[in-house]
Amino acid sequence: MSYITRTLGNIRKIGLKEYWHQLNVRDTKAGVLIGTDKFGNNAHIEPLWHAWISYLVDTPPPLEPLAKMAADRAWAPREHVPNRTFSRAAYKPYNTTKDKIQAWQPFAAPR
């Protein structure tokens, strides 16, 4: 839970209705959503934006020449590639080495 001063400040900022709605999630928050990434995630910052926010670079990503170059890379996929695990298109490694032991073959003597 939040301190009482933070809780009262959030009630003042977001109102009682939104406060009770957020209280179901166990904590109240007040603020503005800055943006989302291309997959709709709110909690993650893209690497170039993180570099700008952390003062690693001086120019924001839309003006950064490195960001413009990143879109032209031939080896980078243009669209999201889904994970194909448990599907027929999943990667399947094949064994190319010889067996070190021989499998046992049962032998029954004729009677």
Whether 27 maps to a domain, the answer reads yes
State how far the Cα of 48 lies from the Cα of 64, in Å rounded to an integer. Answer: 9
Residue of 46, 42, 95 lying closest to 66 (CA atoms): 46
pLDDT confidence of 75, banded at 50, 70, 90?
confident
Whether 9 maps to a domain, the answer reads yes
Whether 107 maps to a domain, the answer reads no
Whether 8 maps to a domain, the answer reads yes
Q: pLDDT tens digits for 4-60? A: 887 888 788 888 888 888 777 766 666 666 667 677 766 667 788 888 888 988 888
Q: Residue 31 has what pLDDT?
A: 65
Whether 61 maps to a domain, the answer reads yes
Whether 102 maps to a domain, the answer reads no
Whether 106 maps to a domain, the answer reads no
Whether 99 maps to a domain, the answer reads no
Burial class (CB in 10 A: 0-12, 13-18, 19+), 75: exposed
Q: Residue 44 has what pLDDT?
A: 67
Provide the domain count of the chain: 1
State how far the Cα of 96 lies from the Cα of 103, in Å rounded to an integer. Answer: 17
The two three-digit tokens of residue 31, written as one number: 């603020």
pTM listed for this prediction? 0.32
Residues of the domain holding 18: 4-31+44-68
Pairwise pLDDT comparison (87 vs 73), residue with the higher score: 87
